[in-house]
Amino acid sequence: MASRVARKWDGGYIRTDSRGRDTYYILRRINGRLYEVSTRCHTSRAAHEQLRRFEADPSNYRPGGEASEDGVLSITAELAEAFLRWSRDEKKNTPKWVRDQQRSLAWWAAHLGSADLRKLKTARLVSELDKADAGRKQHIATLKAFCGWLIKVRHVLQKQEDPSSGLSVPQARPEQWTTPKAVTRERFLAVREHLTGLWRDALDVLAGTGWHFNELSRFAVSGAVERHPMTGGNVLACPQTKAGEPLRTEVSDVVADAARRILEQRELDYFAFHRSLEHASTAAGLSEPLRPGHMRHSVATWAINAGAHPAAVAAFLNHKSERTTKRFYATHAVPAKVPTLF
């Protein structure tokens, strides 16, 4: 039988649990009171984070909300809140995405209850997803992100225990093959005519860059307008794309001026922009409103219709392959005419 105290660490001692894992315990005497409590952590990094929390408030310390008294790792309110703070502050996800994650975590918590994530089977997750009226893709993406955080940041879940590993996020379907997402220039200009101020500027930047709205949102908070090192033209620098990498896009003077005004505001609200587009679309007499997501598709289609090569459009939109551009974003472009008999 292994010794109860295997070795010491900064906060107390380490012992081996029944599964052969090192478990870190806090052993401290503070103001005459002896504290001895398990951190329920199995790595030094996670244990030191728990030690920091313990030292801040020893009397009210609980091991991070990661597990209940019986050692069950479930989706608790405290864990969900910590994950959402990390998603917002560390991953720099947009407020809209964090709100979407919050809704999905609440959905999982309601459907899984106090089930132990370490023991959950993929079949149970699939069964619960089959009950979802909508949002299946979001629910899967959120759970995979949450479990990844438990593994890599909190260190309370082992990779082999990850219940979400058997799930895959549904791939985007090219619905624009049957329902075009690209709008005509005429529709775009009609809606633009009924926008003013910040919302017209936001639409102009999306039309000039082909960015996703979350990239524009991040640009508003900490982006910059720079000069192209070779041509001296305007370059909008977005600190982070959907994939987590920085992005630079060359734009016209009109778009650069709109971007500078957006930087003065420092924040863009997706839902307020969405409502403004709906009102402007109604005023323009459109039967279907223009939406932020239409602009990336429109930029790709306009460019190819104007003679741009798909590879150039792919590079401009920061796609890894021109196949992505042709499949998802320019499916309604009309190829250039080739010589024919008539």
CA-derived radius of gyration, the chain? 26
CB 42, CB 22: distance < 8 Å: yes
Q: At the topology level of CATH, where does 177-267+275-329 sit?
A: hpI Integrase; Chain A (1.10.443)
Phi-psi region of 21 (alpha: psi -120 to 50; beta: other; left: phi over 0): beta
Residue-range domain boundaries for the chain: 7-60, 77-166, 177-267+275-329
Token pair 């650069």: residue:
256
In tens digits, the chain (342 residues) has pLDDT values of 344 546 889 889 888 877 778 888 898 888 888 888 888 788 887 788 888 888 888 877 766 555 544 567 889 888 888 899 889 888 888 888 899 999 999 999 999 988 899 889 989 999 999 988 888 899 999 999 999 998 888 878 888 899 999 888 876 554 444 456 788 889 999 999 999 999 999 999 999 998 989 889 889 988 999 998 888 889 998 888 766 788 888 989 999 999 999 999 888 888 899 999 999 999 999 888 998 888 888 888 888 888 888 888 888 888 777 666 665 666 666 566 567 666
What is the pLDDT, as a whole number, of residue 337? 58
Name residues whose C-beta falls within 8 Å of residue 29's C-beta, 6 or more positions apart in sequence. Answer: 35
Is it true that 77-166 and 177-267+275-329 share their CATH fold?
no
What is the pLDDT, as a whole number, of residue 333? 62
CATH 1.10.150 fits 77-166, yes or no: yes
Tokens found for residue 44: 């030094």
- Angle made by CA atoms 7, 11, 13, in degrees to the nearest 5: 25
Instruction: Give the whole-angstrom CA distance, residue 159 versus residue 295.
Output: 39
Q: Which long-range contacts (CB under 8 A, 24 or more apart) does 322-328 make?
A: 325/300, 327/174, 328/172, 328/174, 328/176, 328/297
